[in-house]
Amino acid sequence: MTTTFSMARVNNMDRATFVEVFGQVYEESPWVAERAWEQKPFADRTALANAMEQVVRAAGSDQALALFRSHPRLGIVASMSDYSREEQAGAGLGAAGEEDRRVLAELNDEYEAKFGFPFIIAVRGHTPASIIKACSSRLSTDRELEIQQSLEQVCKIAGLRLADLIRE
C-alpha cells in the first residue's frame, strides 16, 4: 500500500524529502519535483499538480522528449518504475494475450519510428484493446500534435499518481 500524505505534511517537507516522495510522479524525472518544490506552499493537491505541470510545460523540448522517452513501452516486460508496473498491471497489460502483445509491440515499433518516443497514455480505466485502439488512432496524427497529446497524457498520469499520494 502506498503511503499517503496530508498537504500540511507535504508543505513541511524539506527539498530532499519532497524529491524523494514526488520525484517519480513524472516518470524517472525527479527534476520536475525539484523545481516544483520552490513554489511551496501549495494550497492543495491541485496546486501541486499545477506547479509540477508548469515545470514540465516550461521545460525545453529536449527535456520534454527525454521525459517521454523515460516512459516504458506499454505491454513490454522490462525494467520500469513501481508506478508504471502497477498501472500497466491494472490495465490488464501483464495478462494480455499473445495476439494483443504482438499487435501492441508492432504498434509501439511503428509509433516510435514515426515520433521518436514511446506511445504514452494514462492506462487507468483502459484495457489492452482500448490501448491498441488509441495507439492506432494516434499514429495518424502529425508529430507536433502527438507531442501535445503525449504531454497531456504525462500530466494526466502525474495527476493520478498525486491523487494516490495526497489525501485531502
Q: Among all chains, which residue has been given the C-alpha cell 484493446?
A: 129
Q: Which of 119, 168, 167 is nearest to 140 (CA)?
A: 119
Q: Among all chains, which residue has been given the C-alpha cell 504525462?
A: 154
Hey, how many other C-beta atoms are within 10 angstroms of the C-beta on 89? Answer: 12
What is the C-alpha to C-alpha distance for residues 116 and 114, in angstroms, rounded to an integer? 6
Does residue 71 carry a catalytic annotation?
yes
Residue among 5, 18, 71, 135 flagged as catalytic: 71
Q: Catalytic amino acids?
A: 71
